[in-house]
Homo-oligomer: A and B are copies of this chain.
């Protein structure tokens, strides 16, 4: 049974303002809950339908009806269960010994979520976002990560400051006029792949921090690639033998 105040609270977490105020966020669906329960994120409350409860005996939760789940879900097709989770302080790991991704003003939740999923596929552990990037706790971002969110260290910071403090790292900047990435020897140790905003690319003030400009060669007529697509191709180029 879902109380009016619970319903109001969960729905408020669809907005960043309230997520920040309560230091909480929402996780939805069977697959995401499975990943959540295997992670070190602290669960506040699980709201689950009888179907989920029957398949997950022993997990502490509040039973709600499918109709009640619909009233708090962000999904087009609500999926058995929703959890309110505590945000946590994230630390970057082993920055100088691997490939890391930096995102400058990424705006589209689907793109960001897809980048997190792709990064997880390629074994990347750290993503550094500029302060004005879309919120990782946005339900659409989380859903697009397909659970990879729980395995990624994601921080928000002033990217100019961050790059100026990490000058020992190679910074590969994705630009339309960069070197052909297929022909370039890439150093995946101690490096950052810097990707720009969907429509404006990399900010002017970050260009001086780029040590190597790289591009994906164009064989046809599209003006550009989607940022999540381009990120995936670069990650693939770093990792392929």
Contacts and interface: CB of A to CB of B under 8 A. Distances in A.
Nearest to A240: B182
Contact of A121 (B144, B151, B220): B220
A123 B239 contact: no
Interface stretch (A41-49, A130-138, A166-174, A228-236): A228-236
Interface string A213-236: 000111111111110110011001
B232 A225 contact: yes
Contacts of A225: 117-118, 121, 232
A74 to B, nearest CB: 16
27 contacts: A110-B110, A114-B228, A114-B229, A117-B225, A118-B222, A118-B229, A119-B220, A121-B218, A121-B220, A121-B221, A121-B222, A121-B224, A121-B225, A122-B219, A122-B220, A123-B219, A147-B222, A151-B220, A151-B222, A183-B241, A225-B232, A228-B228, A229-B229, A229-B232, A233-B233, A233-B236, A236-B236
Interface of A: 110, 114, 117-124, 144, 146-148, 151, 182-183, 216-226, 228-229, 232-233, 236-237, 239-241
